Amino acid sequence: MASAMTDPDLIARYDGRLPRYTSYPTAPHFHGGVGAAEYAEWLSALPPEAAISLYLHVPFCDRLCLYCGCHTTVAHHERPKRLYAQALAREIGLLANALGRKALVTQIHWGGGTPTALPGDCLEGLMNLIRERFRVAPGAEIAIEIDPAALPAEKLDALAGMGLTRASLGVQDFEERVQKTIGRMQSFDETLDAAIMLRKLGVRSINLDLIYGLPHQTEASVVHTARQALELEPDRAAVFGYAHVPWMKKHQALIPEAALPVGAARLQQEAAIRKVLAEEGGLVPVGLDHYARPEDEMAKAAQTGKLQRGFQGYTTDLAPVLIGLGASAIGALPQGYVQNQPNIPAYEAVVAQGHFPVSRGIVLRDEDRLRRAVIERIMCDLAVDIPAMARAFGAGEQVLLADAAPLSGFAEDGLVDWDGRRVTVTERGRPFVRNVAALFDAYLRQADNTKPCHASAV
């Protein structure tokens, strides 16, 4: 059987616009029927011993990379950033008051945007406030996303005071032609310096983000970038396919579409990076797009079926509650998902009035929980036993097995092993794991698929 990368018919059949399944139901299905009142009720119903994870979103950057799919804005002045930090502090206070106790926090993730766009004293002040209002577990993971080109020396003291344990450095690609086209100039030395400085601050784990499918990338160029990335001795790496969605992210329209690799070329780039990271770097592939040192807890979680999938991609975080703080941040609670107001002034205004800035969300039904578990195991373990999962949720298996009917065709194409009960994604099928997961997405079938809202599956 030909490799998936060299079979254009296969790519044509399975290429479509599919979610990345960082949640189920996925964010496009959140709605305005869930708001601040529901969120407050959900928080007050949490068991006192429930551990929580915090995600703090900082929607500012010093530059706008043309490929960016994040919720962010370019801000050069300090005032809007300080106002935003005040709003974050207010939201932290609202949360602590609603919980009515010093809840146990096992993970804190600063994302964006560029978290270090906030003034250093704001970053430190917010961390101190979190430690004051919550019980941060000894050994809690405190992670931050770093733009190596936006790490001025005066921020280092603040970062040192935050007790960071993990940093995620955006690399994407080291080739100058690619960097110029995507508006993100960043030398290898700059990135190396950032990694060295962060390690000196006590950050014990460095993650690198790489992207394939960017304009002008070739198989040879991504191999070169991956080899340079290994020189930084990362503990983890994440390799994402560029999602070209200019109808949602207007600045992406400035990327010349003719320079974008498509279909088989994207798959070949992904496979080439994978080979370098795994075979030359000794990193263990984790799920669809992550890599970790064999001794890293993420690699261990993947081997023991404990890997989780959340809004930041793969994670080892087992906390049953994720609280999103900041404009556009998403929270995941046992009762459902909530998303904050994405507009920064509107977010700040609502918080200033003493209300949770939730603008939409979704209540989880029993069927959603079962389908979410099936999709999460496919995305994390690349395998799931459907009747066993249905039993674990006290549900019948018939509906899921009916959804699984197309797997016979997937098996004929060599993408999965399927015995009518358990599906395992094969190595050939690994790039198509989202196609397998999507079979169990009841919302996708109901969606108006004439409106593109997801990125290409391949």
Q: Using CB under 6 A, list all residues that contact ligand SF4.
A: 61, 64-65, 68, 70, 72, 112-114, 147, 170
Q: Which DSSP letter does residue 62 get?
A: S
Helices assigned H by DSSP within 201-320: 219-231, 264-275, 297-303
CB 434, min distance to ligand SF4, A: 22
- Surface-to-core class of residue 337, CB atoms within 10 Å of its CB (0-12 exposed, 13-18 middle, 19+ buried): buried
CB 441, min distance to ligand SF4, A: 27
* 309 and 317 Cβ atoms separated by less than 8 Å: no
CB 194, min distance to ligand SF4, A: 13
Residue (197 or 299) nearer to ligand SF4, CB: 197
Specify the residue for token string 């970790």: 292
CB 155, min distance to ligand SF4, A: 15
* 285 and 274 Cβ atoms separated by less than 8 Å: yes
Q: Dihedral angle at the C-alpha atoms of 111, 117, 120, 126, nearest 10 degrees?
A: -40
As given in the structure block, the two tokens for residue 180 are 């110029």
* 59 and 110 Cβ atoms separated by less than 8 Å: no
Tell me how far apart the alpha carbons of residues 155 and 56 are, in angstroms, rounded to a whole number.
18
CB 183, min distance to ligand SF4, A: 8
Strands (E), 279-318: 284-286, 290-292, 308-310, 313-315
As given in the structure block, the two tokens for residue 232 are 């930084």
Residue (146 or 302) nearer to ligand SF4, CB: 146
Residues paired with 52 in a beta bridge: 105, 321
Residue (60 or 418) nearer to ligand SF4, CB: 60
Residue (114 or 328) nearer to ligand SF4, CB: 114
Residue (26 or 72) nearer to ligand SF4, CB: 72
Residue (65 or 370) nearer to ligand SF4, CB: 65
Tell me how far apart the alpha carbons of residues 402 and 132 are, in angstroms, rounded to a whole number.
51
CB 166, min distance to ligand SF4, A: 17
Nearest residue to 352 via CA among 89, 131, 130: 89
The pairing of strands 383-385 and 422-425 is antiparallel
Question: Vertex 254, ends 110 and 450: CA angle to 5°?
Answer: 85
Residues paired with 315 in a beta bridge: 308
Residue (168 or 316) nearer to ligand SF4, CB: 168
Residue (64 or 185) nearer to ligand SF4, CB: 64
349-354 long-range Cβ contacts below 8 angstroms, 24+ apart: 350/36, 351/87, 351/90, 351/91, 351/94, 352/87, 352/90, 354/90, 354/94
Tell me how far apart the alpha carbons of residues 56 and 73 are, in angstroms, rounded to a whole number.
16
Task: Please count the helices (runs of H) and the strands (runs of E) in the chain.
Answer: 17, 21
CB 68, min distance to ligand SF4, A: 3
CB 208, min distance to ligand SF4, A: 14
Residue (19 or 113) nearer to ligand SF4, CB: 113
- What is the total residue count of the chain? 458
Residue (229 or 299) nearer to ligand SF4, CB: 229
CB 60, min distance to ligand SF4, A: 8
CB 148, min distance to ligand SF4, A: 10
